[in-house]
Structures are given as structure tokens and as C-alpha cells.
Amino acid sequence: MNVEQAKRREISDNPEFRQLRRVQLRSGVRMTALAVGGFLVYVLLSSFMPALMNTSLAGHLTLGLALGLGQFVVMALVARRHLVHMRTRVDPIARGFRTQAHKQQTDQREQRARSAAPYQSGGYRTWR
């Protein structure tokens, strides 16, 4: 296993990363089910209950047209809920994880610099 794969494994084994993925997946499944479910109901009603969908609500506005336009509302609500969910639940976890990863990188750089310091002292030039 090379260094890049080891880094990826270290990140994927981190409990905070797993929590982040779990939260993202759970919300994505719910919101996708809501959006696809709403569209599926509309298509099924249009296919199997055309008389109901042709019911006039007001003037030329039928129930089918109102439900079709309602799909835009459903998608807007799903998109808005997704943004709110990301800001309140996912982003804080991601920021914490990013801060932790950045701290680990900084600590590793400092450790490498300290281990290289004895070779650089005494006025000798290193071959790097």
C-alpha cells in the first residue's frame, strides 16, 4: 500500500469522517425519496386517473396542471431543506474534521522540521 492509499485509509477509518458520510447519506436518501416520490405520484395519477386529473379547479386550471406546477414547489422545498440541513448538520462536522486534519498536517510538518534541524545546524548545507 502506497502513502496515498494509507492517507485515504486513515481518513476513511476516522469516526468523524464516518459520521459525516452517514449524515450525508441519510439526508440524501430522504430528500431523493421525497422528490422522486412526488413525481411518481403525479405520473401515476396522470396515467391511471385521467378523469381526476382533468377536474377543473378554476377556469382553465385543472388538478393535473396544479399538481404539475406543484412539482416545482416540491423541488424548491427539497433544495431549500437540503441547504439548511447541510449548513446545520453536515458543515459543522466537516469543519471539525477539516480542522483536525489540518492540525495533524501541521504537527507532521513541525515534526519533520525538528528531525531535520540537527542536519542543518553547524553551518553544513544539506543535499535536498
> Which three cell numbers mark 14?
476516522
pLDDT in tens, 35-63: 999 999 999 999 999 999 999 999 999 99
- Is 4 part of a structural domain of the chain? no
- Is 50 part of a structural domain of the chain? yes
- Is 118 part of a structural domain of the chain? no
pLDDT at residue 120 tops 80: no
Number of domains within the chain: 1
Say how far apart CA 21 and CA 97 lie, in whole Å. 12
- Is 79 part of a structural domain of the chain? yes
124: left (phi > 0), else alpha (psi -120 to 50), else beta?
beta
> Which three cell numbers mark 42?
403525479
- Is 124 part of a structural domain of the chain? no
Domain range enclosing 47: 28-101
pLDDT in tens, 77-96: 999 999 999 899 888 888 88
- Is 114 part of a structural domain of the chain? no
- Is 16 part of a structural domain of the chain? no
- Is 93 part of a structural domain of the chain? yes
Cβ(11)–Cβ(17) under 8 Å? yes
Say how far apart CA 7 and CA 13 lie, in whole Å. 10
What is this structure's pTM?
0.66
